[in-house]
Amino acid sequence: MKTNTNISIRARARTNWRPILLCAAMALGLLLNAGCLYLDQAIVLREDGSCTVTYRYSVPEDAVPNLATAQRVIEQWQGRNPGPDSNDLQWCFSRPAVSRHFAGRGLTLKGHRIYEKDGRRYAEITVNADNAWAALESGKFGPFQLSRTAEGDYRLRADIPEDPAAKPPTPEQRDKLRALCEGLSLTLTLETPTKIISTSSTAASGKKATWVFDPRVDDTFLAKTPVIDLTFSGKDLNWDRKK
């Protein structure tokens, strides 16, 4: 995830990422000294239908006090009322908030480590789910949708709606956003139990696909809603939607 908040992979199912990401980048750029927010999220799907989700989130230690202020700015720009603590930029540094968010049938919080290193504060979270299908559709891990194709394969995608009325940023705006997002890095890795047949990822091989949202690598996501989509073989798999 190198992110977890409303600007991250864990955004709610009907959230429009682009305006959230742009607002978040501006808020964090102003309040956290040009971002420096990292999130890695990895989802490992297993043959038995279970999965493990891990997060590694970090921010500069001296920026932690400003996270709540940044969250309020983002919410104001989005026209939202303040959300519960699980949606706060500091949520992953709160053991009670993380425990509440990942509570649910078939979910087990296996680890939550908080530590400081080289001037940064880190949070590492590991969650096991007995039923990957039900867990992903719960929205707790992001706006994911899992379905079965007519050919019997499985398709996993992020439901990130495109706003037809949204205008792409001008070259000048994009340059400013790129500068503000210089320290922002979001990474999502999906690992499947069988071979990946097709995917929107440009970094995929075998059973693993990765998406990196880092303006130092590729700033396309600043102007266009990202597409997260993959299909993996359903051979020898017979997952139930619910257990």
| pLDDT tens digits, 162-210 | 666 666 677 777 776 666 666 677 889 999 999 999 999 989 999 999 9
Asked if residue 46 has pLDDT above 80, the reply is yes
**pLDDT for the residue numbered 38:** 81
User: Which range has the worst mean pLDDT, 44-48, 52-56, 134-138, 158-162?
Assistant: 158-162
Beta 38-45 vs 51-60: how paired, if at all? Answer: antiparallel
Q: Are 27 and 73 in contact (CB under 8 A)?
A: yes
User: Which range has the worst mean pLDDT, 9-18, 67-76, 176-185, 233-242?
Assistant: 9-18
What is the b/e burial string over 66-101, where b = at least 16 CB atoms within 10 angstroms of the residue's CB? bbeebbebbbeeeeeeeeeebbbbbbbbbeebbeeb
Mean of the pLDDT values across residues 33-42? 72
**pLDDT for the residue numbered 58:** 87
For the entire predicted model, the pTM comes to: 0.76
Mean of the pLDDT values across residues 46-65? 88
Q: Are 222 and 204 in contact (CB under 8 A)?
A: no
Beta 38-45 vs 185-191: how paired, if at all? Answer: parallel
Query: Residue 106: which region, alpha, beta or left (left: phi > 0; alpha: psi -120 to 50)?
Result: left
**pLDDT for the residue numbered 164:** 61
> Rounded to an integer, what distance in angstroms lies between the CA atom of residue 145 and that of residue 48?
18
Q: Are 137 and 146 in contact (CB under 8 A)?
A: yes
Q: Count Cα neighbours of 100 within 13 Å in the Cβ-side half-sphere.
A: 11
What mean pLDDT is reported for the chain?
76
Mean of the pLDDT values across residues 91-114? 91
Residue written as token pair 């009670």: 96
Alpha helices in 58-169 (DSSP H): 67-78, 95-101, 132-137
